[in-house]
Amino acid sequence: MFRDAFAHRRCLLPANGFYEWRGNLRKRPFWLTPGEGAALFFAAIWEAYPVQGHTYLSVAVVTQAAATQRRPLILDAQGQKDWLAADTA
């Protein structure tokens, strides 16, 4: 399903943070951010879906296993270059 997108339609999704749910009995959202004015870049893939003369674009964030749950795959500057490089597919 995503094989072609992973090979040919990679992108970066900029964000200023994301929520991680914590707690055992009662889950609570915690906002994780790199700090004021800084940005995170998530690895993502995209797809275009033609429907009745229109093209709809869709994006999916790539996740990684974390200590207790999944979280976005956050890329540093070198990771961003590697993710977008055509020869790393």
Q: Which is higher by pLDDT, 86 or 42?
A: 42
Residue span of the structural domain in which 11 resides: 3-88
Q: What is the pLDDT of residues 33-61, one digit of tens each?
A: 998 889 999 999 999 999 999 999 999 99
* CATH code at position 20: 3.90.1680.10
Q: Domain tally for the chain?
A: 1
How far is 59 from 45, CA to CA, in rounded Å? 6
Query: In this structure, are residues 62 and 44 in contact, taking their beta carbons and an 8 Å threshold?
Result: yes
Q: Does the predicted TM-score (pTM) go above 0.85?
A: no
